């Protein structure tokens, strides 16, 4: 979950741990509440958006999940200064796989490999 530098998707690990702890304990509303300040602090982070999409998917809000995932994917593609790491890609891949959009997950990995 965490790289050797204490960063999770370019975000300090201590900010992300509360979200994952809430997800692990199946407190999805609480996890979504933790995502809001994270997104306000890191609005251009695809990992923060991928976390929110993962929480929304587990809450069963399919209509919101896909738009959040597409926003995260667009951030990966348009912002060259954004960190593309395996944690971000695997979180997006998990959500895309749940909605049977493996082509979108594959395109994210292909873009990361080409970069």
Write the DSSP string, 51-74: HHHHHHHHHT-HHHHHHHHHHHHH
Residue 3's pLDDT is 46
Domain 7-114: which topology? 1.25.40
Residue 76's pLDDT is 87
Residue 82's pLDDT is 67
Answer yes or no: is pLDDT of 54 > 90. Answer: yes
Answer yes or no: is pLDDT of 7 > 50. Answer: yes
Residue 110 CA to its chain's centroid (Å): 17
- What would the mean pLDDT of 41-51 be, rounded to a whole number? 91
SS3 73: helix
In the chain, domain spans: 7-114
Answer yes or no: is pLDDT of 93 > 90. Answer: yes
């Amino acid at each position: 979950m965490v790289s050797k530098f204490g960063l999770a998707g370019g975000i300090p690990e201590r900010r992300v741990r509360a979200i994952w702890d809430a997800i692990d304990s199946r407190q999805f509303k609480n996890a979504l509440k933790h995502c809001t300040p994270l997104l306000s602090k890191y609005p251009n982070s695809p990992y923060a958006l991928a976390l929110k999409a993962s929480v929304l998917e587990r809450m069963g809000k399919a209509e919101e999940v896909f738009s959040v995932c597409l926003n995260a994917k667009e951030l990966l593609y348009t912002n060259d200064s954004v960190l593309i790491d395996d944690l971000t890609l695997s979180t997006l891949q998990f959500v895309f796989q749940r909605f049977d959009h493996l082509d979108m997950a594959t395109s994210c990995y292909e873009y990361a490999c080409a970069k």
